[in-house]
């Protein structure tokens, strides 16, 4: 059931991308110079969402939505935000969800799923649905509705504690498409909404408000931790592999 829900949501999202792109396309009456400038800006947005050499951390973990320190890319269109959300579907995600399902299988959580292949399949489906729905809402839907930028902007300089605090705080502070700072309502609303949707496929023992809040809290912690990794990965790369990361 969770996999079916995820597939239907994915199809809806994929269908909405062309509409978002068409809405963001300039009118044919716009001057050639403006059209060229817009094309250049869109290319810049794409490159900042998936910067060269930083697509994957440690060669496996996706670092999508990462903007290097000092860069000021143009805002993403709604279509580009949904494309960023689609990047959730990658080999690392499938492997991570498989490991998570294995841990929950060993803990027998939720117990209603039982054991064996069927129990593991239910846990895998629930975990995959959680991540996919959260990614669509946090990166695509709410940022488009509230005109917020779902990318992570590296600080790059400063003390360890300052950069860590900055990275963690990005789940509460973000940028509007205009560039000004704002409360990250996309993260908060997206995580709570996806956790609430989970009551449609989790067993009865996992449907209380406390369970919804717990799943949202876990998502906040995961996103904050991933931000910290994005912030420090270039430094880790230089230390471990001797590569010159961007500052």
Asked if residue 61 lies in contact with residue 92, where contact means CB atoms within 8 angstroms, the answer is yes
Q: Give the Cα separation of 99 and 101 in Å (integer).
A: 5
Number of Cβ within a 10 Å radius of residue 201: 18
For residue 17, the model assigns a pLDDT of 39
- Chain centroid to Cα 92, Å, comes to 13
pLDDT for the residue numbered 184: 97
DSSP letters, 48-104, are: HHS-TT-SEETTTEE-TTEE-TT--PPPPPHHHHHHHHHTT-SHHHHHHHHHHHHHH
What pLDDT was estimated at residue 244?
A: 54
Looking at residue 90, what is its pLDDT? 87
Torsion of CA 193, 110, 226, 85, to 10 degrees: -50
Tens of pLDDT along the chain (247 residues)? 444 444 344 444 444 434 443 333 333 343 343 444 444 444 444 444 444 334 678 777 878 788 998 899 999 999 999 999 988 888 889 999 999 999 999 999 999 999 999 999 999 999 999 999 999 999 999 999 999 999 999 999 999 999 999 999 999 999 999 999 999 999 999 999 999 999 999 999 889 999 999 999 999 999 999 999 999 988 888 887 765 544 4
Round to whole Å and give the CA distance between 128 and 151.
22
Q: What angle do CA 247, 88, 179 make, to 5 degrees?
A: 50
Query: Quick one: pLDDT at residue 18?
Result: 40
Model pLDDT, residue 23: 36
pLDDT at residue number 104: 94
pTM of the model: 0.74
């Amino acid at each position: 059931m969770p996999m079916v829900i995820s597939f239907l949501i994915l199809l809806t999202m994929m269908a909405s991308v062309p509409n978002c792109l068409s809405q963001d396309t300039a009118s044919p009456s716009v001057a050639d110079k403006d059209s060229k400038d817009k094309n250049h800006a869109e290319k810049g947005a794409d490159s900042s969402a998936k910067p060269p050499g930083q697509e994957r951390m440690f060669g496996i973990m996706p670092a999508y939505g990462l903007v290097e320190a000092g860069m000021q890319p143009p805002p993403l269109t709604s279509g580009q935000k949904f494309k960023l959300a689609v990047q959730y579907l990658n080999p690392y995600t499938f492997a991570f969800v498989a490991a998570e399902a294995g841990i929950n299988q060993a803990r027998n959580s939720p117990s209603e799923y039982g054991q064996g292949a069927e129990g593991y399949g239910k846990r895998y489906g629930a975990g995959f649905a959680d991540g996919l729905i959260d990614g669509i809402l946090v990166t695509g839907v709410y940022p488009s509705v509230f005109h917020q930028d779902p990318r992570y902007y590296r600080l790059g300089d400063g003390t360890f504690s300052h950069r860590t605090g900055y990275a963690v705080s990005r789940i509460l502070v973000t940028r509007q498409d205009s560039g000004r700072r704002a409360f990250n309502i996309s993260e908060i609303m997206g995580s709570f909404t996806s956790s609430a949707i989970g009551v449609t496929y989790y067993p009865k023992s996992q449907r209380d408000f406390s369970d919804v809040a717990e799943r949202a809290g876990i998502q906040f912690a995961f996103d904050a931790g991933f931000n910290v990794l994005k912030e420090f990965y270039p430094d880790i790369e230089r230390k471990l592999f001797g590569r010159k990361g961007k500052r």
